[in-house]
Amino acid sequence: MMKNIFILLISLQFVSSFYGCSHSRQQIRSDAEPKPISLRARDLYLKGLFFQSEGRHNEALVQFYQALHHDSTSPTIYNSIAENHIKLGHYESALILLRNSLLLDANNRETQTLLGDTYFRMRKDDEAIATYKRILELDPYNEEARKYLIFLYEKRNDQLNLAAQYAELNELYGADPVKLEKMAEIYIRFKKPDEALQVYREMLKVDSLNHRVYYLMGNLNKSLNNIDEAIFNYQQALRLKSDYYPAIHEIAVTYRSQEEWQKVVDFLNHEEILNESAESFPKLLLAESYYYLKQYDQAREVLLPLLHLNDIPKQAFDLIARVEFEAKNYPQAKKYFYQIIDDDAKNKFAWIFLGFAFTDMGFPDSAAHIYERALMIFPQDAMILAFYGYTLQEQKQYSQALEPLSQALAIDSLNVNALSSLAVVYEHLGMFAQCDSLYEVGLKRFPDNALLLNNFAYSLSERDKRLDEALIMAQKAIAKNPDNAAYLDTIGWVYYKLGQYQEAEKYIRQAVELRDNSAVVFEHMGDVYWQLGDMTQAKFYWQKALDLDADNEDLKLKLETNE
């Protein structure tokens, strides 16, 4: 039934267009008689419309051309033929038909619109501009014509005509808030922020209590990176409407984008944000801010209620898992990461953090198993391959680590984790030329990377090679991260190899204070005191090292020979 009504409406419109054409001709030729409607033309035209609606443009053209044969005085038929030629990219054919249509009715808006579209597609900018101007003469509020005309003026950087268009918009839309907002949107679209802000001020003159205008001003200032002004605008919106969620959202998100986590907390930590009916997103932002502030108990307090909702936000599980991981509550973190994976096996970061959890718990073999499972889903993922190789390296499975680390670098040559781990593997396999070459390549790409600087320096010092270069690299690393126990131990060990034992003692002692569970650091401390002639302290630290590494034959020998 609806289809019949649709056809009837088209038929009436078609008949009306015929009458309009007859009337136009009577003005030109007073002796002309009204032309009877061609029912055959109508039927063919309707068939053409059907084919056009189905996207069968060639078939539509056949019907429309036959309709034109029965009535060559209807702009509607010419326009329909032209429209299908445009769809098929036959722009020259479309132009011929549209010009014929204009001869029948110079003010036909459909014809003018199709003509402008054709010129625009053909990149005939002069003709397109003239056509869009003509359309606006017929219909000053035609937004599409205005949009394309402004675009073409922007393209030409024709500031004079642009200014004329903006003046026309101002005159047309006046103080109507809806039209003013449209005008502001046009200014924003065409990167005229000052003009847009002026329009918003005009809107506030009309209605000074319009909270949404302040919100829109905030969005514009935010896009211009005027962050303080944006926050001020959003706050003004909230003064007028305290529960206006879009402004709440934007203030929180803006602080978040600036990583001003304490400001996010201060802003969102209110009863209306935390109550049961409030939106989940602000709560997630609040919990995330607590996470980055390392206030894990507060983050957990915000997140746990979200886990009992019927529709649990996915971000809540991701965040609570990371909170428990950073709080070193590894059993709970593992539970959440497994839940995430069960829900979405393609959540790559859940696999990676689950591996981290096992590593931190002292189960590198379990971590390796997790990465093996992850690689079944992400076989070409450089990040997972790198962590898998690193885990094998940490278990001293150097030969097994070669393949995943090499593969990771082949996929992503900028993967620092793979690069540094592979260099360590080369060193332990006695492939020193490859080791040094890889470090040198890495430092050319990342000359300030503290991990590469430290590891290369330590590798050279262990082999008593290029110690002056090693010292420079160790100094650069420690300058970037002065509280890193491993880096302090490295620079101390380089000084030791250079025979500068007092300097070595200063740095390695700091490493001991920061890292009291490393057999290597304790052994280095003992070696330094041995060189300084303090055998009591030397044996004390060697024994501490042996307590952590009971199978270390070198340590046993040092203690035995210095009884």
Write out pLDDT tens, residues 498-553. 999 999 999 999 999 998 788 999 999 999 999 999 999 999 999 999 999 888 88
Higher per-residue pLDDT: 237 or 188 = 237
Stated pTM of the model: 0.60
How many Å apart are CA 231 and CA 204, to the nearest integer?
18
With beta carbons less than 8 A apart as the criterion, state whether 449 and 461 touch: no
Tell me: the pLDDT tens digits for 330-370?
999 999 999 999 999 999 999 999 999 999 998 999 999 99
Give residue-wise pLDDT tens across range 299-326.
999 999 888 887 778 888 899 999 999 9
Average pLDDT, the chain: 87
Q: Give the integer Cα–Cα distance in Å for 444 and 434.
A: 15
pLDDT of residue 7: 40
The confidence band for 116, taking pLDDT boundaries of 50, 70 and 90, is very high
CA Rg, the chain, in Å?
38
Amino acid at 94: A
State the average pLDDT over residues 378-394: 94
Give the pLDDT of residue 4: 39
- Which CATH entry fits the domain spanning 479-563: 1.10.10.60, 2.60.40.10, 2.170.270.10, 1.25.40.10? 1.25.40.10
Q: Would the CA dihedral through 420, 422, 424, 426 be positive or negative?
A: negative
pLDDT of residue 454: 95
Average confidence (pLDDT) over 108-127: 93
Alpha-helical segments (H) within 190-268: 193-206, 211-223, 227-240, 245-257, 261-268
What is the pLDDT, as a whole number, of residue 15? 42
Residue type, 351: W
d(CA 483, CA 510): 9
Percent of the chain residues topping a pLDDT of 90: 66
The number of helix segments (H) and strand segments (E) in the chain equals 33, 0
Alpha-carbon distance of 97 to 519, in angstroms, equals: 89
Q: Which two tokens stand for residue 124?
A: 């005939």
Rounded average pLDDT over 419-435: 94
Which residues belong to CATH 1.25.40.10 in the chain?
39-157, 332-447, 479-563
CATH code 1.25.40.10 for 39-157: yes
CATH class of 332-447: mainly alpha
Which class for 229: exposed (0-12), middle (13-18), buried (19 or more C-beta within 10 A)?
middle
Torsion angle of the four alpha carbons 297, 301, 304, 306, in this order, in degrees rounded to the nearest 10: -140
Burial of 371-394, coded b for 16+ CB within 10 Å and e otherwise, reads beebbeebeebbbbbbbbbbbbbe
28 pLDDT band, cuts 50/70/90, is: very low
